Amino acid sequence: QVQLQESGPGLVKPSQTLSLTCTVSGGSISSGSYYWSWIRQPAGKGLEWIGRIYTSGSTNYNPSLKSRVTISVDTSKNQFSLKLSSVTAADTAVYYCAREPYNYDILTGYSGYYFDYWGQGTLVTVSS
Amino acid sequence: QSALTQPASVSGSPGQSITISCTGTSSDVGSYNLVSWYQQHPGKAPKLMIYEGSKRPSGVSNRFSGSKSGNTASLTISGLQAEDEADYYCCSYAGSSTLFGGGTKLTVL
C-alpha cells in the first residue's frame, strides 16, 4: 500500500520561499508510470493543482504559479519536493502531495491523470 | 485557464439520487475523457471516487457513477446515505496542466 507524507515548516515569512518534501513509502517512486504532484487548498476554499514531476525530472506547472514554483525529485530518497518563492498570505493553505498514474498509447490516446493516493496534507501559514 | 464550474451546493434526502455537474471547455473536459471526481470530508484528504470519466476505483460503492456530454461531466450518487455528505470536486486533464472545479457541498437532508 503506497503512502505519502508531507513534511516541512508550518510557518513561512512573507517574501520567503516555502519548501515542502513528500516521502513515498510502500513502493519505489521510480516504478511504474506515475507523475508525482502537489495540490493545495486554502482554508474553506477549493483545490488548486500546483504541478507535477516525473522521475526523469520532466515537470508541468500551473500557469498561474509557474514563475514561482519548482518541483524536484530525489529517487535515492524516494522523495519529491516543492519550492514556492516570494510567498504572500495568499499562499497560506493545506498542501497535499499525490500520486498520478498516466499513460499514452498511440492507438487509444491518453489515460490516467487522476490522483489515486494522497498525503494527509500539511498546513503552511505565511505570516511575519 | 479557469477553474471548472460546479454548483456551490446540492442537497437530497436519504435514498434519493443527486447529480453534480462540472462544466469546462473544449480544451479540457471536452477534449479528453480524463475527468476524475473526489470526495472530501472535513479535515480529511480528498478521496478518488471516479476516474477517466466513469470508472470506479476498487472499494468505491457502485452508487457513484460518472458520465460526460460535450464539455460537461457529471457525478451521480444514487441511494443517498448520510455518509455521502461531503464536498465533491471534479478535475480534468487539460494538456500538460490540470484543472479542478470549485467544489460542491452535498447536504443529505
pLDDT digits (tens, 9 = 90+) for A1-18: 999 999 999 999 999 999
CB pairs under 8 A between A and B: 64
- What integer pLDDT is reported at residue A103 of this predicted model? 87
Is the pLDDT score of B53 beyond 90?
A: yes
- What integer pLDDT is reported at residue B108 of this predicted model? 97
For residue A104, what pLDDT band results from cuts at 50, 70 and 90? confident
Q: B interface mutation test: which of A115, A122, A123 has the most B CBs within 10 A? A: A115
Q: Which residues of B touch A39 (CB under 8 A)?
A: 100
Q: How many CB atoms lie within 10 A of CB B97?
A: 19
Tell me what the mean pLDDT of segment B35-62 comes to: 97
Compare CB distances from A63 to B1, B3, B45 and report the shortest one's residue. Answer: B1
Tell me how close the Cα of A112 comes to any Cα of chain B, in angstroms: 7
Q: How many CB atoms lie within 10 A of CB A5?
A: 14
Which of these, B74, B102, B82, lies nearest to B18 by C-alpha position? B74
Q: What is the mean pLDDT of chain B?
A: 96
Tell me what the mean pLDDT of segment B51-80 comes to: 97
Interface of B with A in 26-85 (CB under 8 A): 32, 34, 36, 38, 45-48, 51-52, 57
Judged by DSSP in three states, B84 sits in: helix
* DSSP 8-class letter at B3: P
For residue B2, what pLDDT band results from cuts at 50, 70 and 90? confident
Q: Which residues of B33-53 are buried (b: 16+ CB within 10 A; e: fewer)?
A: bbbbbbbbeeeebbbbbbbbb
pLDDT digits (tens, 9 = 90+) for A30-79: 988 999 999 999 999 999 999 999 998 999 999 999 999 999 999 999 99
- What integer pLDDT is reported at residue A109 of this predicted model? 85
Q: Determine the distance from the C-alpha atom of residue A55 to the mean position of all C-alpha atoms in its chain, rounded to a whole number.
A: 13
Tell me how close the Cα of A45 comes to any Cα of chain B, in angstroms: 8
- What integer pLDDT is reported at residue A20 of this predicted model? 98
Distance CA B103, CA A46 (A): 6
Is the pLDDT score of B75 beyond 80?
A: yes
Distance CA A60, CA A87 (A): 20
For residue B37, what pLDDT band results from cuts at 50, 70 and 90? very high
